[in-house]
Amino acid sequence: MLFNRQAASAKWYDRRDAVFVEFCVEDSKDLQLKFEPSQINFSCLGGTDNAKHQNEIKLFEAIEPNDSKHKRTDRSVLCCLRKSQAGKSWPRLTKDKAKLTWLSVDFNNWKDWEDDSDEEFSNYDRFSEMMGNMGGEDDLPDGEPADDEDTADSDDEKMPDLE
């Protein structure tokens, strides 16, 4: 079988003690992810065309490979890269200033943390706790809807007719 190789689209954001990178590949399989002090290597099969996605990112600063983690979902692979030097801002993800068409800033999660006081519970610890609560290293449990009657949202109630 001949695979079409392409870079996975990715978005990233910076935090005080970690950098987060999300590779946006639906239904990924054969995931291979290698964290090194100065780069990460990502590859998988995925998407509707079952394409081979491959990214090699030379990082702006060093990370702690053994303390970095990832979590695979049906839509993406989220990586939490533990910074070697916590508290140092990364103006970009990559060592080189080159504009990569497949990489963008995740503005929904971006936060200018340099001016903030220390957070009581670090984002890295939150990510670790979230992963611990989900179980498994890189697979989420199949989400079955709960049978509880209490799960109906308050906005599910019938609205009165407009006059």
In a domain, 118, yes or no: no
For residue 59, give its domain range: 10-108
In a domain, 88, yes or no: yes
In a domain, 66, yes or no: yes
Q: At 45, which CATH number?
A: 2.60.40.790
Q: How many CB atoms lie within 10 A of CB 65?
A: 16
> Which pLDDT does position 22 carry in this prediction?
97
In a domain, 50, yes or no: yes
The structural domain count of the chain equals 1
In a domain, 46, yes or no: yes
Low-confidence ranges of the chain (pLDDT < 50): 1-2, 118, 120-121, 135-137, 139-151
> Which pLDDT does position 133 carry in this prediction?
55
In a domain, 61, yes or no: yes
In a domain, 142, yes or no: no
In a domain, 19, yes or no: yes
